[in-house]
Amino acid sequence: MALPGLALGFLLVLSPLLGTQEQRDPAARARRGARDAETCQRPLWDPRLRLTPDQEEYSQNEEVTLSCPKIFQAPFTHVRCAGEVQPNIHGKPTYIEGWLGKGTGGAWIRIRSKVECMEAFQVMPGTLEVSTTSIKLNWTCSLPDACQRMQATCRLAGPSSPSCEAEEVTAKEILHGQNGTFTCDHLQPFTFYSITISVPPSTILFSRLLRTKATVPEKPERLWLDASTGTLRWQALPSCKGEILGYQLNVTARSAQDGSFLEFQKVTVNSSVTQYTPPRQMPGSKYTVTVQGLTAAGAGDASYLEFQPSVLGTCQKPWWDPRLRLAPDQEEYHRNEEVMLSCPEGFQPPFTHVRCAGEVQPNIHGKPVYIEEWLGKDPGGAWIHIRSKVECMEAFQVMPGTLEVSTTSIKLNWTCSLPDACQRMQATCRLAGPSSPPCEAEEVTAQEMLHGHKGTFTCPPLQPFTVYSVTISVPPSTILFTRLLRTKATVPEKPERLWLDASTGTLQWQALPSCKGEILGYQLNVTARSAQDGSFLEFQQVTVNSSVTQYTPPRQMPGSKYTVTVQGLTAAGAGDASYLEFQAYVSELQPYENSDHYCVIKERFLAEEDAGRGGRAGERPSLSLPLPLPILESSGIRQSSEGEEKMG
């Protein structure tokens, strides 16, 4: 098997791969014999590789075309059999099978490793970079046609949660060429995104769910000192920019006098803790506290708070209602000192006890300031923050807006906060002043005991437009509430008498008293009908003021009969009507003096009417009715209920 022309000095450093190369076992060589001297066996490469031509043996320099299944690619499109004679480990020249591959530039290079089908698209190993705001990768593509149609997308994976709002991101880019970098940036930290590179419609080349890196958290939104306990508190941070691992507090104490450093403390608490009580607070020192959230990326921005334990202990005398009495009465109170409040007789403080407290809170500029505060003891014994000026209140109150006066009742809601007096209250409701003719008012004296802290008091049925006095008192002599109230007006009674003065043709009626309401005027309806067949002729409505008790209809047509109604008017409207019917001929006038008689007449009249042509008093003439008789004198009020004479 020795080959000529091999110099012993031709020493090459043998590649470690030689052992895996086509150095067949001696038995196989012997079987094939000398004929095979300068050939290459079919190489033992990637089984997916297709060789063309596909043979068991190739002669020296024979070219073979390589190919791979879809989306895979061979590193060489062509290989060539090229054996070499090299000294073996004993220095003896030996024929060694070998292959050359045609590189991209067309040059033949020696193949030193196993030839494998490679994925045509690759995210280059080690190039996928995920930061807090971007995802970046380098890719290569060697499938000639597909590489021109690749699409890379980057999108928010899953919905954003309410505590950590994540913006929807859908970045899309077309990738071209054989290699490149795809970058997805302006992302939010600590958020999942899906990265996909595909060849539409359906070939996925790469797909990965990636979370951007954590950053440091925001500063805690609120940091305050609960002065009553001396405990620092802050609002928990959401794990939006990174998992919150805990909080770091720096507490620095300095001298309040000269600002010189006294003490520094660093405390780290875990994420479930949102409060810390500094172990000792030295009087005469001022404290600066910073609180920072911690994530894997480190500590975030700090919230600051500054306070002085010495000041925290006191509250100035509060500027409340000057009638309030404080016991003890001091210019300054210590923290947690209880103060009793009282008011002059008939008044009551909203709290019987208050307590000095105080809180350090950020002011409008975000700068922490100490705010004096008072707590008040509510009736249940709980201490609540006092948010407004404390004032002496009337112990008894008719609740504003609850006093309701109607035509027949008076109603009110009351509250009482005087512990003993509230059990002995008496409410009365009585007619104010004697009843005067012509308005007879019934004597009313309702009395009721009121109990408890609140309730409703209602006067019994009352008369309209009548003045009553409502009084709530604690016998024998304390008046808590008293008021003169007039019930609302109703419509008046009907005028008692209505008659026609036959000599003048004037209607007259008796003035109504203002018993059920102030009489504002009278409303007259005058209807004329034919005396023969009862057919409608004319309708007139007239309103006169309250001082007028007579009315002369402007014209009376012979052969017609008239129906007149008179109603009194109050603020509540028109009352019941008095009726009168008469015939126009002065010589034939049949005055019916009293409307009581009229009832009979009216019945007959209406019966005639029903048998006749219809149309009733008070109805406006409709166009289908026969025209009224010839007009004797022209007047604006003729056949018009709208032409009424206005009052006053």
Binding residues vs ligand NAG (CB under 6 A)? 127, 138, 140, 177-179, 181, 250, 266, 270-273, 290, 292, 302, 402, 413, 456, 525, 541, 545-548, 565, 567, 577, 617-618, 641, 648
Each as own residue / partner, the long-range contacts of residues 549-554 (CB below 8 Å, 24 or more positions apart, any chain) are 549/508, 549/509, 549/510, 549/511, 549/522, 550/506, 550/507, 550/508, 550/509, 551/506, 551/507, 551/524, 552/504, 552/505, 552/506, 552/507, 553/505, 553/507, 553/526, 554/633, 554/635, 554/637
In the complex, the smallest distance separating the C-beta of residue 566 from ligand NAG, rounded to whole angstroms, is: 8
Nearer to ligand NAG, 11 or 273 (CB): 273
Q: How far is CA 116 from the centre of its chain?
A: 63
Instruction: Return the bridge partners of 384, or none.
Output: 376
Of the pair 67, 641, the CB lying nearest ligand NAG is at 641
> Which residues are CB-contacts of 341 (< 8 A; sequence separation ≥ 6)?
324, 325, 326, 327, 349, 351, 352, 353, 354, 390
Q: How many residues does the chain have?
A: 648
Q: Which residues contact 251 (CB under 8 A, 6 or more apart)?
A: 263, 264, 265, 266, 267, 278, 287, 288, 289
As measured in angstroms, the least distance from the Cβ of 195 to ligand NAG is 15
Cβ closer to ligand NAG: 58 or 190?
190
In the complex with ligand NAG, which residue's Cβ is closer, 110 or 454? 454
Shortest Cβ 270–ligand NAG spacing (Å): 4
CB of 40 to ligand NAG, least distance (A): 30
Q: How far is the CB of 461 from ligand NAG (least distance, A)?
A: 19
CA torsion, points 365, 367, 372, 376, in degrees to nearest 10?
A: 70
* Nearer to ligand NAG among residue 268 and residue 510 (C-beta): 268
68 within 8 A of 52, measured Cβ to Cβ: no
Residue with Cβ nearer ligand NAG (245 or 375): 245
DSSP letter assigned to residue 239? S
In terms of CB distance, is 222 or 317 closer to ligand NAG?
222
Cα distances from 255 to residues 279, 286, 309, 310, 314, in angstroms, run: 17, 6, 11, 11, 19
H-helix or E-strand spanning residue 311: helix 309-312
Taking the least distance from each CB to ligand NAG, the nearer of 226 and 645 is 645
254 or 353, CB closer to ligand NAG?
254
Q: Could you tell me which residues are beta bridge partners of residue 103?
A: none
As a whole number of angstroms, the distance between CA 40 and CA 32 comes to: 12
Nearer to ligand NAG, 379 or 618 (CB): 618
> Can you give the C-alpha Rg of the chain in angstroms?
56
- Name the minimum Å distance from CB 221 to ligand NAG: 16
Half-sphere exposure of 153 (CA within 13 A, CB side): 13
Element (H, E) at 65: strand 63-67
At closest approach, how far in Å is the CB of 271 from ligand NAG?
Answer: 6
Q: What's the closest the beta carbon of residue 288 comes to ligand NAG, in angstroms?
A: 9
Minimum CB–partner distance for residue 478 and ligand NAG (Å)? 24
Give min distance, CB of 456 to ligand NAG, in A.
5
Residue 371 tokens, joined: 């705010």
Q: How far is the CB of 148 from ligand NAG (least distance, A)?
A: 12
Long-range own/partner contacts, residues 206-209 (CB < 8 A, 24 or more apart): 206/121, 206/123, 206/139, 208/128, 209/157
Nearest distance, CB of residue 179 and ligand NAG, angstroms: 4
Shortest distance, CB of residue 390 to ligand NAG, whole angstroms?
25
Q: Which is nearer to ligand NAG, 374 or 522 (CB)?
A: 522
51 contacts: CB under 8 Å, gap ≥ 6: 42, 64, 65, 66
CA-angle at 180, arms to 176 and 181, nearest 5°: 120
- Cα–Cα nearest to 143, from 69, 221, 38: 69
Within its chain, how far is the Cα of 290 from the centroid? 33
Q: What is the smallest separation between the CB atom of 222 and ligand NAG, expressed in angstroms? A: 16
Q: At its nearest, how many Å lie between ligand NAG and the CB of residue 61? A: 30
Q: Which is nearer to ligand NAG, 295 or 541 (CB)?
A: 541
C-beta of 329 vs 642, nearer to ligand NAG:
642
Taking the least distance from each CB to ligand NAG, the nearer of 348 and 540 is 540
CB closer to ligand NAG out of 525 and 560: 525
With 0-12 CB in 10 A as exposed, 13-18 as middle and 19+ as buried, what is 46? middle
CA separation for the pair 535, 611 (Å, rounded): 11
H/E/C letters for each residue in 119-182? ECEEECCCCCEECCCCEEEEEEECCCCHHHCEEEEEEECCCCECCECCCCCEEEEEECCCEEEE
